[in-house]
Amino acid sequence: MRQTRFTTWKLGALMGGLLSAAAIAGPAMAADTGSFPDHNIQYIIPFGPGGESDISARLQQKYFQDITGQQLIIQYMAGGGGAVGWSQLNEMDGDGYTIMGTNLPHIILKPMGKDPGFKTEDLKNFFYFHYSPDALIVKKDSPYKTLDDLIAAAKKAPGSVTVSGSGTQSANDIANRRFESMADVKTTYIPFKGTGAAVTALLGGQVQAEWGYTTTAANHKDKVRMLAVAANERHPLFPDVPTFKELGYDMTGGAYRGMAVPKSTPEDVTKKLSEIFGKINQNPEFRQKMEDLGFVLIDVPYDQMDDFMAKRRAEYEKVAREMGIIK
């Protein structure tokens, strides 16, 4: 009997530990933002662990603690390509102690098609902190040395060049559509489940090219070559890779990441959060780590969010119409 109680106690302790780690921050309302945050903040990632949303959030964790003395507790609420999390965000406590990662183009594109349970304008984004620029990637030994080589091959036999990417109606899918219409070519886009599977298909020679990001290329530096990057400037990690703009295609974009709070969160708390994450973005060590992984940092604080979102929306709307998402 003593042994029994011992084991039960151990299980109980373990469960308790896990639960408290996952516990939703208390209902305390910060009337005075001077002391905000006075306890830990839960940071929900609406995807599974190990992806870029997770990794970039994990990098913020340390600097958040340096600035506020409180911890960011990262949790996952995966499903429906983020839709499961976003559709529940506004029902959560709006006290500033619950924040959730949001991603572009996902939060704009999804509601354009069938109803995913949330509306873009219902998400109260307070800071966008970086993006992974789209990049067209081939294997090191690929016959396509430049973007022009690939375009020439696609022109010669429309649809014969296969390009892998993560998901349908995703950042990669959109990048491919935009590229196709700008370069006036036809490729075969093959969606995979996640960037990892898409890059595996490229490395294994199953497809001829991949729509990925600078981060993908940074991760597989020795095995792949980027033909062009959809950023305004060349990435410091890849000074030799041209931007699409340099090559005459007006293409910038990628997967943008930021954070949102439930709609009921008070304005002053939202602004304070925007300030804190703005400060993290200024930390030189944080910047270095993010750049080394291939990310490009951007600063879109709360008061510039509407502008930023409107611009992105205009961009995506055109493609969404071509893709038949909007009918």
Report, in Å, the least distance between residue 267 CB and other proteins. Answer: 27
Contact call for residue 310 and other proteins (CB under 8 A)? no
**Of 4 and 35, which CB lies nearer to other proteins in the complex structure?**
4
Burial grade of 124 (CB within 10 A; 0-12, 13-18, 19 or more): buried
**Of 36 and 286, which CB lies nearer to other proteins in the complex structure?**
286
Residue 14 to residues 18, 22, 71, 86: CA-CA distances in angstroms?
6, 12, 21, 30
Contact call for residue 180 and other proteins (CB under 8 A)? no
- Residue span 40-59 as binding mask against other proteins, x where in contact by CB under 8 A, dash where not: ----x---xxxx--xx--xx
Residue 144: phi, psi to the nearest 5?
-80, 105
Report, in Å, the least distance between residue 219 CB and other proteins. Answer: 5
- Residue span 223-262 as binding mask against other proteins, x where in contact by CB under 8 A, dash where not: x---------------------------------------
Instruction: Tokens 């939060």: give the residue.
Output: 107
**Of 47 and 302, which CB lies nearer to other proteins in the complex structure?**
47
For other proteins, the binding residue among 147, 150, 207, 259 (CB under 8 A) is 207
- Residue span 4-33 as binding mask against other proteins, x where in contact by CB under 8 A, dash where not: x-xxx-xx--xx--xx-xx-----------
For other proteins, the binding residue among 23, 121, 146, 159 (CB under 8 A) is 159
Contact call for residue 168 and other proteins (CB under 8 A)? yes
**Of 18 and 67, which CB lies nearer to other proteins in the complex structure?**
18
What residues between 59 and 118 interact with other proteins by CB under 8 A?
A: 59, 61-62, 74-81, 83-84, 87-88, 113-118
What residues between 289 and 308 interact with other proteins by CB under 8 A?
A: 289, 292-293
Stretch of residues binding other proteins (CB under 8 A), selected from 28-36, 128-136, 213-221, 232-240: 213-221
For other proteins, the binding residue among 33, 142, 188, 283 (CB under 8 A) is 188
Handedness of CA 310, 315, 316, 318 (dihedral sign): positive
Separation between Cα atoms, residue 106 and residue 131, nearest integer Å: 13
For other proteins, the binding residue among 197, 237, 247, 326 (CB under 8 A) is 197
For other proteins, the binding residue among 150, 201, 229, 269 (CB under 8 A) is 201
Task: Evaluate whether 82 touches 27 at the Cβ level (below 8 Å).
Answer: no
Task: Evaluate whether 53 touches 103 at the Cβ level (below 8 Å).
Answer: yes
The tally of CA atoms less than 13 A away on the side-chain side of residue 102 is 30
**Of 33 and 71, which CB lies nearer to other proteins in the complex structure?**
71
Report, in Å, the least distance between residue 183 CB and other proteins. Answer: 17
Report, in Å, the least distance between residue 108 CB and other proteins. Answer: 14
Separation between Cα atoms, residue 186 and residue 204, nearest integer Å: 23
* DSSP bridge pairs for 257: 103, 130
